[in-house]
Structure 1
Amino acid sequence: MEFRSVARESSAFQQPVSAAEIQEMCGRAFGAGVRVTSAVELGGGMYNTTYRVAAEGLPEPVILRIAPASERQFTSERELMRNEYATVPYLSTVASLVPRVLFADWSQEIISRDWVVQSHLTGVPAPDRLSAYERPLWRGFFAQLGEITSRVHSVRGGHFGPVAGPGFPTWSSAVFASLHSIADDLSASGLDAADVRKVAELAAEHGEVLDEIREPRLLTGDLWTVNTMLSPDAPEPVITGVLDLDRTLFGDPAADWTIRMAGAKQDERVSFWDTYSPRDASSAGAWRALVYEARHLGAIRLERHRLGNAEGVQESYVSLGKIVSALA
């Protein structure tokens, strides 16, 4: 077997598995007689450990994704792979763009981590391909992203909160739970979480504004350029795939990471709104957007801490301080 893993420190969040373990996992997924010929770790993601695997008898390579060990997961990011698996039945509107689940194993018998095998999407990661196009052509990319996001947001759910649960009867209760979970993770990591807790307190004073959102809609959770694939040879950007929908939840579409990123700069990404819909310009919508930004910044702080980005962690306190002042 050709076996290649990304070189990492033993203390790194993402940890490899062995060639023997990959052979055993593929044997469980495809039958004991399968023989893996190649397993190459892909280094693009920052959460799961991912390998492109080829085996005799399989018509094409597959993607093996392995979740972090349970003890390494933040409470606010618990069992994201299982959440993504639970989301599959809700993704019919974008079925042609997402990988198919070929096998999933939560038993933790082979390794003490969840893992899933998915189909291999054609295309090139957008971060590697988009820069090859002239900037004016990027508008088409963001317009496609807006249309895809609109399709996802059209899906209705039966509760608020993560797709796999826990579910909440109101949007405010889901938002408060998320903020407190992030704050608890920050405190457990030795970081000051007072600002996140303050946002939760201020938001609770006006929970009725959050509860103006009465219909749970599906949110992508993490869709942006880094989680899209592009055609390798099209004359202009064409999105051929969407990856890593593991942070999905049901709630207010305005709370989605995609919406946050689409509104972050006034550049080519403004074309996103041409195919999505205008942002909510009401005072209630603006207030909710501040709460959502605080939630994003708390999660960003956790990720930066995990990556050892001390400067980025400190920057998050400045940004969140402005949110607290605006809400107060």
Structure 2
Amino acid sequence: MESITKNRQSLDSLRAMVARAYGDDQVPSGTSSEGDWVQELGHGWFNVAYRLRLRDGYQAVLKVAPPAGVEVMTYERQAMANELTALSLLKQTDVPVPVVDFADSSGELVDAGWFMMRYVDADNYGVIRSTLSACEQDKLDVAVGAATRSLNALTGPAFGPLNGPGVPSWRQCFLGMVADVLHDGERRDVDLDYAGIHTLVAAHAGYLDEVTEPRFVEWDLWPSNVLIRDGRIECLIDHERAFYGDPLIEAGFVATQQPAFGNPTAFVRGYGKVTFTENERIRRRLYNLYLTTTMVIEAVYRGRTDPDRNAWARARLAEAMARLS
């Protein structure tokens, strides 16, 4: 996926990062061009990622944070540090995640943080999902639901970023998240009904008080962040948006209130969520409003100009507002 946040590197820079992470003896020799020992992985929207083959045949994935001069949304600041914390926390679960080999935030080799992790030989579920049978999709969606529940079992000291500072209530945290994304939109003059969104959120904020325990949430666990092999989940990737909050905000629950996002039945079954209370349905509508607002605003920060994709996001935002009105 194309985005101005992708901090692409020269072959010389990539060699320097390999040397720092794995030693000089692992740097690919000769003047090999891209495609021989390095391949850009193009599925993500935010960080650039490369698949590297080292001199001894070991394969790694390099992720590089956005360039220092590129403006990102408020919740995306320090995203790479957040992902590294998430990966460390998730070692406590039975959910497979990448193994980090090396991380560097010094800024000495490139103008941003970066880290190396072990390459996982598997297919991207989001890419191949349409080629699978309905039965295969159902089985995998159930597995994603179960994995999400395992992630949500982790608890935190407060609501908010994994690395802090947190706040004591979910209402305070979520209202702050909404305020941040609206400010991001206003800063870049994105055409939105800011007053209408703020009014809807404020009118339903009391429903957030039912959430009293901060739990680890991925928020971005879509099929494109699931790697599969032989019909099973091999690894979950891209954890930079994780925080402590309400598990109901997870991506798998989006379609329970907006069917345009897909069929949530198998995910919900795998998660073990049998029914939704009226409070939970309203909270989920609030979370959909936040998500779709973010989708519209982030298009500007990413430099995305696809009119169909942008129109689809705006249609989902209008739908989310109508469901809360």
TM-score interval, normalised by the smaller of the two chains: 0.7 to 0.9
Partner of 2:213, secondary structure, is coil
8 Å contact from structure 2 (residues 221, 252) kept in 1: yes
1:3 maps to: none
Q: How far apart in 2 are the matches of 1:282 and 1:107?
A: 48
Counterpart residue type for residue 274 of structure 1: R
Measure the CA separation in 1 of the matches of 2:257 and 2:135.
18
1:326 deviates by 4.3
Q: Distance in 1 between matches of 2:324 and 2:298?
A: 24
Between the two proteins, the alignment pairs up a number of residues equal to 314
Counterpart secondary structure, 1:116? strand
What is the distance in 2 between the residues matched to 1:184 and 1:296? 15
Identity in percent: 23
Q: Distance in 1 between matches of 2:24 and 2:256?
A: 46
Distance 1:225 1:34, change over 3 A: same
Instruction: Identify the residue that residue 70 of structure 1 maps to in structure 2.
Output: 68
After superposition, what is the alpha-carbon deviation per residue over 1:231-265, rounded to whole angstroms, capped at 9, x for unaligned? 1xx3xx21111111111011111111232157654
After TM superposition, the structure 1 stretch with the greater mean CA deviation from structure 2, 168-177 or 24-33, is: 24-33
Aligned to 1:208: 206
Deviations 1:50-104 (CA, angstroms, capped at 9, x unpaired): 11111124x5200000111133222231121111111123213545611011111
Hey, what does 1:249 align to over in structure 2?
A: 243
Q: Give me the TM-score of the superposition, normalised by structure 1.
A: 0.86
| CA spacing shift, 1:106–1:262, aligned 2, 3 Å | farther
Report if the CA contact (8 A) 1:124-1:230 is conserved. yes
User: Aligned partner of 2:112: which letter?
Assistant: R
Aligned residue number for residue 227 of structure 1: 225
User: Which structure 2 residues correspond to residues 1-328 of structure 1 after superposition, within 5 A?
Assistant: 12-36=4-28, 38-57=37-56, 60-72=58-70, 73-94=72-93, 97-195=96-194, 197-231=195-229, 234=230, 237-261=231-255, 264-265=258-259, 269-278=264-273, 281-305=276-300, 306=302, 307-328=304-325
Aligned-residue offset at 1:322? 4.2
What SS does structure 1 have at the residue aligned with 2:98? Answer: coil
CA RMSD of aligned residues (A): 2.5
Letter in 2 for 1:256: E
CA contact (8 A) 2:258 2:320 kept: no
1:200–1:238 distance in 2 versus 1, CA, 3 Å: same
The TM-score, its normalising length taken from structure 2, stands at 0.87
Given that residues 65 and 115 in structure 1 are in contact (C-alpha distance below 8 angstroms), is that contact kept between their aligned partners in structure 2? yes
Unpaired segments of 5 or more residues in structure 1?
1-5
2:32 maps to what in 1? none
Following TM superposition, by how much is the alpha carbon of 1:130 offset from its aligned partner in structure 2, in angstroms?
3.3
Structure 2 unaligned spans of 5+? 30-36
Q: Quick check: 1:220–1:258 contact (8 Å CA) kept in 2? A: no
Whether the 8 Å CA contact 1:14–1:49 is kept in 2: the answer is: yes
